[in-house]
């Protein structure tokens, strides 16, 4: 099964017809889902006398949006839609399910058994339809309804992934060979994943803490490493960045920021490579986690020396 976490509109242009022979980079197993995976084509300069082919000439399957955000209080419900469009000349059959997950320190979601903890949104959500056929040229709507139970025990964030898996028929195995032959069958198919987050508006995101901010100098590279933990019950959609200042000259430089999601109770780790051409001297570094709330900016400071 090839799983794609849908960007704003995932289009399998020029890929659908090649699934039996080409494996996609954005593939995962049932127990693992990748975030922010894209199948966008990489444009290269055409060689001399080489014909340039526009992506508009190709057809494919697309799913949008990539993420659904619910902001429900306990005792309320809401429905949102995901759309799948079939621009191919073939009919496809899909099955829809939820897959709860947890998140590692690198932000890589890892699947877990549905309903195994209080943050699994699958326990409050339903899918309509859960099984459908999509004809050529057709757009299929999949409705996600989230119904948050009443009571303070439901006043917390929850999340899951909507999995849209192609249903395919298995071809008969060719078992010709000796008695010691083991026959394996592979059925190429298509899968999409859409992240779904439920975050009550009444939960203040005020407990993002920087646990560690350190300078690392090795033979291969110099880095600033930072880790942050979400100590609250709300999902954080944050940006982290580092600013460094030469204490002798006052010259400042901002290292490339990173956008990330940090789930309640989880830790995220970040690495910032220091430019190789940074002049020698003593520096001050400020690491920042910005939650898009002007009243909630978490920062840490350290000093280091570049020899």
Distance of CA 303 to the CA centre of its chain: 34
Q: Identify the CATH number of the domain in which residue 170 sits.
A: 2.60.40.10
Distance CA 167, CA 173 (A): 18
Based on the fold, state whether residues 191 and 300 are members of the same structural domain: no
Based on the fold, state whether residues 187 and 245 are members of the same structural domain: no
pLDDT, tens digit, for every residue of 80-139? Answer: 999 999 999 999 999 999 999 988 887 788 888 888 888 999 999 999 999 999 999 999
Task: Find, among 299, 303, 304, the residue nearest to 242 by Cα.
Answer: 299
Query: Torsion over CA of 289, 295, 300 and 303, rounded to 10 degrees?
Result: 110
Q: What is the pLDDT of residue 296?
A: 74
Domain boundary among 198, 227, 256: 198
Cβ 20 vs Cβ 2: under 8 Å: no
220 lies in a domain? yes
The whole-chain average pLDDT of the chain stands at 79
pTM of the model: 0.70
124 lies in a domain? yes
pLDDT, tens digit, for every residue of 209-266? Answer: 999 999 998 877 899 999 999 988 889 888 999 999 999 999 999 998 889 889 988 9
Based on the fold, state whether residues 133 and 94 are members of the same structural domain: yes
User: How many domains does one find in the chain?
Assistant: 2
Q: Which domain holds residue 32?
A: 2-198
Based on the fold, state whether residues 154 and 192 are members of the same structural domain: yes
Query: Would the pLDDT of 195 be above 60?
Result: yes
Based on the fold, state whether residues 170 and 212 are members of the same structural domain: no
Which three-class secondary structure state does DSSP give residue 16? helix
Task: Find, among 86, 128, 302, the residue nearest to 214 by Cα.
Answer: 302
């Amino acid at each position: 099964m090839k799983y794609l976490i849908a960007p704003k509109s995932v289009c399998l242009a020029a890929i659908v017809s090649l699934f039996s022979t080409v494996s996609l980079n954005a593939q995962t197993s049932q127990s693992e889902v990748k975030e922010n995976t894209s199948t966008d084509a990489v444009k290269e300069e055409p060689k001399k006398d080489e014909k340039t082919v526009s992506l508009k000439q190709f057809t494919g399957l697309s799913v949008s949006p990539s993420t659904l955000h619910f902001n429900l209080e306990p005792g309320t419900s809401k429905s949102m839609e995901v759309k799948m469009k079939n621009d191919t000349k073939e009919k496809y059959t899909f099955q829809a399910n939820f897959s709860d997950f947890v998140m590692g320190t690198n932000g890589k979601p890892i699947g877990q058994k549905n309903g195994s903890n209080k943050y699994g949104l699958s326990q409050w959500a339903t899918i309509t339809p859960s099984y459908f056929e999509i004809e050529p040229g057709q757009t299929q709507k999949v409705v996600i309804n989230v119904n948050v139970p009443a009571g303070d025990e439901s006043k917390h964030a929850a999340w899951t992934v909507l999995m849209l898996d192609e249903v395919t028929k298995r071809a008969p195995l060719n078992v010709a060979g000796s008695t010691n032959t083991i026959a394996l069958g592979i059925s190429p198919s298509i899968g999409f994943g859409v992240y779904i987050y439920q975050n009550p508006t009444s939960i203040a995101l005020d407990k993002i803490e920087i646990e560690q901010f350190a300078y690392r100098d090795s033979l291969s590279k110099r880095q600033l490493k930072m880790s942050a933990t979400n100590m609250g019950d709300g999902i954080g959609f944050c940006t982290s960045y580092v600013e460094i200042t030469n204490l002798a000259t006052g010259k400042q430089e901002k290292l490339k920021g990173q956008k990330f999601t940090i789930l309640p109770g989880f830790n995220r780790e970040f690495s910032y490579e220091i430019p190789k051409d940074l002049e020698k001297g003593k520096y001050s570094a400020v690491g920042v986690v910005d939650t898009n709330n002007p009243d909630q900016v978490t920062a840490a400071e350290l000093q280091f020396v570049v020899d």
